[in-house]
Amino acid sequence: MAIMTDEKLKTVIKTGLRISHHKLDDEVERQIETAKRELIRVGVSPAKVSVPDELITEAIRVYALKNMTENVDMIDLYDRAWVNIVDGIRKSRGYHV
């Protein structure tokens, strides 16, 4: 299991948004940090968030996509995905404070 760095995660998010420039890098980074804080707020261990596995990484990716997409049709889908992923994490062993 490879740990995804914030820099790699930023690239994955930008690819999902079809962004190839650096103008929105600050916003992408802000979304990553906000997603991490949201995960901690709902009870995920800060240690798990600081060294994210694939499930935490996917939650962060989906959070950023739902907040940054310009495709109105995708916003609801990303939001439901975020809710489902977070719910799954909250019900899983090993992720709690």
pLDDT for the residue numbered 32: 96
Q: Report whether pLDDT(2) > 70.
A: no
- Asked whether the beta carbons of 58 and 67 are under 8 A apart, the reply is no
Cβ atoms of 86 and 59 within 8 Å: the answer is yes
pTM above 0.85, yes or no: yes
pLDDT at 96: 87
CA angle 92–8–5, rounded 5-degree value: 55
The residues near 32 (Cβ < 8 Å, ≥ 6 apart) are 6, 9, 10, 13, 60, 64
Mean pLDDT in the chain?
A: 93
**What are the residue boundaries of the structural domains of the chain, listed by start?**
6-91
